[in-house]
C-alpha cells in the first residue's frame, strides 16, 4: 500500500508541473494525458529502486541522484529534450525537477510525517499553484512561457526543504526504533 501511495504522490507532483506546461506554455491536452501512464510506469520502477537503497545513511541524496539522472535520460531519449537536440533546454532545471518529486513521494509514503510539516507542505503547494496559475492571465505569450517554465522550477527547488525535513523526521524515527 505504501508503494502505491508513494507512486501516486510523486505522480501528482510531476503532473502538477506537466499541467502548467501542457496547458500554459502550449495547449497540448493530449500530451498531458499521454504523460499520466508514462509517469506511473516510470515511478513504479524508481520506487522499486528506492526500496533497495532505503537503509543507506544518505538515502535521500541517493534518491535525488537516481531520480535526477533517470529523469534526464527520460527527457533526453523519450521526450527529445536533449542538449544536442534542444540546447536551449535548461538541463539543471530538469535535474532538479526529476530529482525532487520521486524521492519526496517516497519519503511522504514511508515516513511518519509530523502534522505541522504536512500542513506546511500543503500550504506551500496551494500557494505555489495560485501563483503559477496567475500566468494563465498573461496576454504576452513570451511572458507566459517564461512564467510557466521557471516558476514551477523555483517551486520544486523549494521542495528540497521538505525533502530535508522528511529526512530529518525519518532519521529521528529510525534512531528511536533502534533504541527500543
| DSSP class per residue in 104-163 | HHHHHHHS---HHHHHHHHHHHHHHHHHHHGGGG---HHHHHHHHHHHHHHHHHHHHHHH
Is residue 180's pLDDT more than 70? no
Write phi, then psi, for 78 (nearest 5 degrees).
-100, -45
pLDDT band at residue 174 under the 50/70/90 scheme: low
Q: Which residues contact 122 (CB under 8 A, 6 or more apart)?
A: none
Q: Among positive and negative, which fits the CA dihedral 56, 57, 59, 65?
A: negative
CA angle 90, 7, 55 (to 5 degrees): 95
Q: What is the pLDDT of residue 175?
A: 45
As a whole number of angstroms, the distance between CA 96 and CA 128 comes to 17
Out of 2-6, 59-63, 175-179, the most confident range is: 2-6
Taken in order 120, 122, 124, 127, is the CA torsion positive or negative? Answer: negative
CB 111 within 8 A of CB 170: yes
Taking residues 154-158, what's their average pLDDT? 90
pLDDT digits (tens, 9 = 90+) for 26-69: 889 999 999 999 999 999 999 999 988 888 878 888 899 999 99
Number of separate domains in the chain: 1
Residue range(s) defining the domain that contains residue 82? 2-179
Binned at pLDDT 50, 70 and 90, residue 179 comes out as very low
Q: Is the pLDDT of residue 155 over 50?
A: yes
The torsion angles phi and psi of 122, rounded to 5 degrees, stand at -60, -45
Q: Could you tell me the pTM of the whole model? A: 0.86
- Nearest CA to 148 among 163, 130, 133? 133
Residue 173 has a pLDDT of 54
pLDDT average, residue stretch 120-132 = 95
- Please, what sign has the CA dihedral across residues 169, 172, 175, 176? negative
Q: What is the average pLDDT value for the chain, to the nearest integer?
A: 88
Q: Read off the pLDDT of residues 73-101 as tens digits, 9 standing for 90 and up.
A: 998 998 888 888 887 778 888 898 999 99
Amino acid at each position: 500500500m505504501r508503494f502505491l501511495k508513494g507512486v501516486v504522490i510523486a505522480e501528482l507532483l510531476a503532473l502538477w508541473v506537466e499541467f502548467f506546461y501542457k496547458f500554459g506554455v502550449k495547449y497540448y491536452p493530449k500530451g498531458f494525458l499521454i504523460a499520466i501512464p508514462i509517469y506511473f510506469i516510470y515511478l513504479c520502477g524508481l520506487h522499486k529502486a528506492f526500496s533497495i537503497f532505503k537503509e543507506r545513511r544518505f538515502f535521500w541524496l541517493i534518491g535525488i541522484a537516481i531520480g535526477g539522472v533517470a529523469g534526464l535520460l527520460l527527457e533526453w531519449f523519450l521526450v527529445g529534450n536533449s542538449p544536442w537536440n534542444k540546447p536551449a533546454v535548461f538541463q539543471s532545471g530538469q535535474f532538479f525537477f526529476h530529482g525532487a518529486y520521486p524521492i519526496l513521494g517516497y519519503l511522504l509514503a514511508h515516513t511518519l510525517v509530523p502534522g505541522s510539516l504536512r500542513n506546511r507542505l500543503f500550504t506551500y503547494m496551494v500557494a505555489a499553484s495560485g501563483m503559477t496559475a496567475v500566468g494563465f492571465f498573461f496576454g504576452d505569450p513570451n511572458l507566459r512561457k517564461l512564467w510557466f517554465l521557471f516558476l514551477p522550477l523555483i517551486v520544486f527547488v523549494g521542495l528540497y526543504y521538505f525533502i530535508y525535513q522528511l529526512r530529518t523526521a525519518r532519521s529521528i524515527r529510525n534512531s528511536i526504533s533502534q533504541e527500543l
